Amino acid sequence: MPCSACRGGVKAPFDFTMAFHPILDIEARRVWAYEALVRGPEGQGAGWVLDQVTAENRYAFDQSCRVKAIELASELFNEADGPILSINFLPNAVYVPAACIRATLDAADRTGFPVNRIMLEFTEGEKMEDVDHVKSIIREYQARNLITAIDDFGAGFSGLGLLAEFGPDVIKLDMGLVRNVHADRGRSAILKGIIATAGLLDLKVVAEGIETIEEFEALRALGINLMQGFLFARPVTGGLPDIHWPEPAYKRAANG
């Protein structure tokens, strides 16, 4: 698709805002990143927003999400050594990587948000229309000092092959692998293999969708330190959420 969409501007034809959801570094007991999640202007869920995305406005929506997330984040956590801003992007809405990243870089420059603290996520579940094109997007972003991540890792059919193909900086484990991991030997075994492979490739691993203390403890035992889920906080708009830090098991035992 030609870049005629660029000439029409990058603003989506409908209003939306962003909610922020923390990714925690459990070992350091700090917020490692905040993920920007689309919400309607009156608090409607992501589905309400995504239902309005079409093939015709997909590029403008993708660009607007990046700019909106950076603008809001710059008001909430704009420190050189502060949390990372994680933004979901649509690979199939990126036509020429070096050109389509301009609005993102311009927004970062205008707001003073550090480029090397921006992480762009794409989901394994999205249909890859052109694998080589996606690889070129990741290489371009990494060359610009942006962080790249595969979201929902383990949800699709490519699995570990994606790591060899794309070489991201971060993988975010699909919540389907996380759910009830403490009671499922199969999930635990799969996660051990992914974590070992990620370690050999020097990739960071984030477990998302954590809802129970049992899942939290099982993931900690597997060596995962970066975590995200409703156990710790829920996404909020207009600010940053309060965070619940789970107590270690020995403290809960002593208090119980």
Q: State the pLDDT confidence band at 247, using cuts at 50, 70 and 90.
A: confident
Confidence (pTM): 0.90
Whose CA is closest to 154, among 199, 209, 202, 229? 209
Exposed / middle / buried, residue 256 (Cβ in 10 Å: 0-12, 13-18, 19+): exposed
The CATH number assigned to the domain with range 14-255 reads: 3.20.20.450
Confidence (pLDDT) at 128: 56
- Helices 58-76, 102-111: axis angle to 10 degrees equals 20
Confidence (pLDDT) at 163: 80
Average pLDDT over residues 246-250: 69
Strands 226-227 and 17-25: antiparallel
pLDDT digits (tens, 9 = 90+) for 20-79: 999 999 999 999 999 999 999 999 999 999 999 998 898 899 899 999 999 999 999 998
Confidence (pLDDT) at 156: 59
State how far the Cα of 152 lies from the Cα of 147, in Å rounded to an integer.
16
Both tokens of residue 14? 């409908």
